[in-house]
Structure 1
Amino acid sequence: MKYRSIQTRLITFMLAVTTIPLLLSLLITFTHTRESVKEQTVDENVRLIYQGATNLMNYLRGIDRASLSVYSDPHFLRNLALDPDNHRVVAELYATLQAIQTGTQDVHQIYLHNQLTGQSTQISSNLPRREFRQAPYRKIEEFGEGNTAIEPVHQVHSYGFPPRPADILDFEVITFYRSITNVPAPDQYALMAIDVKLDSILAICDQLYAKGEEALYLIDSSGSIIYGPDPQQRGQALDDPELMDVIAQAERGYYDGKDAMIVYEKLDLPYAPWTLVKQIPHQTLYKHSTELTSINAIIAILALFIVIFGTLWISIRITKPIKQLTTYMNQVKTGRLDVNIDVTSPDEIGILSRRFRTMMDTINNLILREYRLEIANKTNQLKALQAQIDPHFLYNTLQSIGTLALQHNVPRIYSLLSSLANMMRYNMRNSEGKVTLQDEINHVRLYLELQKQRFRDQLEIIWDVDPESLTTPVPKMILQPIVENYFKHGMNTHAGVGRISISTRIAENGRLIVVIENNGASIEEAELASICGKLETAFHHPDRNDAGEDSIGLLNVYMRLNLYSNHHAELTIENAEPHGVKVTLDIKPQESEQ
């Protein structure tokens, strides 16, 4: 009976349909991924090594072309046969060799042995030297056949000349040999040796492999290492007989060795029978496929545990009484939202769905009622806050208009009265809680026009308004109280022209940024800290109103902004440099709060 139970059958079935496909998927994925990674890596490295070999050949051909430039000099071959004590002959030979040295990349020095006169010449960054010898310092036959050959990596030397204090001999070079003949005659007139630094060769090879993960070798036909991951290996023989046998059979290719994948490419140069060899260890080659397989294995194990525990949980819970769900849902309906409903089955899902809908209706009704109460409270708070706007500027404005009326009988009085009337009309639009930023800007313009009449040349106004920001809805009367603070507390008519700037823009995140800055008196640090503290208190406790007379305008604006934006607005106040006050409003438009 135990093995015929629903629980046992369900667990056996779930394990079978889960484990077998997962294991097959892991095996197939692992095999396919390894082969795909191997094929892709080989293709990429074959192309990379081919490009590296091409770059090396182009570099060596450049040195070869530089050595051939002696044939372009019509006087060079003739000078070889002339009197070696002739200063003009010596100077022309020096000039030709120095042109090769300075015009060819990485050339350290040039050695020339004249077979006709027995004169050996050395050209380096120091003064050139020469002496008479029976034979050249090296012979081209020691390194290859034909008119050109390359001596493998070796320590730089002075070609038998006495060393000088300024000579630098602590680095390695390769030497390019060219036999200079009187073409088409095969007789050798001179032998030229060009010592080339390894900088360019090393730079080309460094780009062909990942150091620390792969290995790259540049070897000659005898297996001597020209470049390797370890600089100490240069000049030594590569100890890999299998590789040397494979290289001897083909110009390029790859094969899978015991511990690494080998990719090689020979340089197609008769005087440089070099081979580029790249070793990619299997650990590096299959690194990503192993990681992917490990991740898949972890996911498969987690899936198995989930299947096992899920099956156990479902099989145990399926035997519980269905009627218990009705009791739970009735408790939820009465308001006990923390009831732990611990019954699930196919039949009970239908009952749970209907009961859940009933419960959500109750919750939604409660939330809707609370939301309406909150809106009503906010409306009452807003009306109370709007009534706190300080009308102090009105007295000064009327006084300025009256003084102007006594002094001048001009239409300007009518304009000022119209501005004042429009401002009063704007203030009395109590039915509108929100306006566009354009309305607020227009209202502030009217206010500043009146103040401009009052202060005349002592007041400068700067506007920087982004047209895209003008349609943004904002609470009414948020800009004028901030501007008014400047005239109440910050403006000093004896300190030069007062300046107030207003700028608006839409930030990248869609928020409205309004900056109001003046050059009036700065706020004392203690007072500024007090105002910031009151703003913070107003944010967390909007029902408290402990603001003093000096900061009621800012608190008024800040509280209304948060009422309308559901606490998604920011107001910062700081001192400007060298003096003045800067107020920044950062408002999240209400329509984006969905």
Structure 2
Amino acid sequence: MKFKSIRTKLIVFMLIATIIPIVTTMFVTYTYTSKSMKDRALEDTQNLLYQGQRNVSAVLAALNSSSLYVYSDAELYRELQTGVPDFQTDSRLFAALSYMKSSVTDVHQVYLYTSLGKRATIVTNVAGAKRATDTEAFADVDHYVGSGESVYVQPTHLSHTYGFASLQPQPSEKVFTLHRRIERIPSNEELGFISMDVKLSLLTDIVGQLYDNTEEDLYIVDGNGVVIYADEDQLIGKPIRSTWFQGEVADREVERGSIEQGGALIVYEHVQGTIADWTIIKRIPTSYLMREANHAAAINMLLLAVSLAVIVTATIIVSLRITAPIKQLVRYMNEVQAGNLNVAIQPASNDEIGMVVVSFRSMMGTINHLILSEYKLELANKTNQLRALQAQINPHFMNNTLQIIGTLALELGVPRIYALLAALARMMRYSMDNESSTITLRDELAHLKAYVELQKERYENRFEFHVEVDAPLLDAEMPKMILQPVIENYFKHGMDKSAEDGQLYLKAYSRGDGLIELIVENNGAVISSEKLEAIRRGLETVYAENGVQKNSGYAMESIDEQPAADTDVNSSLKQAQAGAEPRIGLNNVLARLRMVYGEEAQLRVENIAPSGVRITLVIMKKVVEGGEMDEGADRR
């Protein structure tokens, strides 16, 4: 399907006119829907996290308030200051710790250490209350609140017995612990420590309503980046390593916010509490957010495919009905162009296109006999002219004589003479072949190499001959005896007979616009400005005879031609037809090229610095492939 055809343009236009608006609408709709869903999900998530933050803050506040009960109970606080144990003191101590344990839901156990007297007390769900005397404080308690801050919330860990080996064995629980240092008010003197283990299930009940644990992830992270809560057990109690927990999320100065990274939307909310610096983080995969938008996009793609199938079918049907008569008319014209002037033209419809076909048939009937007669006359005239220019010599007996002499040279043991005679014989056979006026570039090069071989012998190998031709161009058609007159000028006018470094080049390449350039260069003597101008004036005459005027900078003449009367091509043709021996020069070369290729044919001559001459021939590209002629680009 060629894009130049009306059918192709019609199909492409209709497809573009329908597909682009549909695709654009789908893209805009998908983009807007995606953004709206992200904004809505972000707003809903921020509201949920804000409520969760308030609930977590309330739990931490209650836990903090419960740990301060040791200051509220005057009797208990006085006993901590004196450190004198008795039965009533133990009873009040157990009662106070039991109250603190029951004041906050899911407190697993409460541990109290009194520095005066080195007494430790623990109240648990399973073992009840236990006391130990003359013992050291549990190491973790002293590590967290032994100095510095008086209160610290330890990240999630497995519960333990705080050194009470006599406690009844009980399963470990995942707990986070509030440690508080008890001080003598108003000084900072240490009276003891209290630790409250809170089951992680307390946070699970709160945050479980904030996310969908099948698709989303939720984390509670403390100020050091240690995970307090997560769905994955292996993450709990360890520093978070995810790349998204960097920068903005880890920045405690930003109260809340969101980022989009790693294919997910990250929403975070910092917990506003006095005893802990926690952050609630919710990670929502983009694919989960966009599932509805993607579903809508899939439906739109299905509709687009159905619409495209309908549009393509309708477009092809309409284009066939519109363009079929036009293509039939083009076929008629192609047959006429190929020489079939008697083609039977039948209108295919009664519309405007049918009227054009009828008019074309009438026109062909009117001018058919004029075109046919004029075409045949012109063709016969040009054929005769071409054959006249080629008919330089036609002595068949000389070819036979050369074969006899060559055989004798072999018999006498002189193969070089035989090689030269063979080259001369090839040239003669090439010149005597008048059956066809055109040959391939391959044939012309073979003839040219035979000619150069003779010249090398004549001038004792004082020059080198180089050929650079692209392989696809070897089958390009061209008139006979075109290149030899061009190269012959080098030996007649440009070659230094005393030098031994002569260089002669022949290059051929395709220009890409359906034309071929044949370039002949040498390093011989340059042409004087006066003679070069005369050469160009001579070739202007050839262009003028063909109805085209060329700028003198591009119209060139043969080196060995005289200006004025001798540059008249018709006179050269008449001499050839009359049996005279016309001089085969660039002038006749251009005339023959113009006969074959028309206005496309060109010939240019120019000097090369510091020495040498370049002659350029431009012809149309006609390559024989599989019996059909490929003429490259159409003439413009």
Q: What TM-score, normalized to structure 2?
A: 0.46
Q: Rg larger in 1 or in 2? A: 2
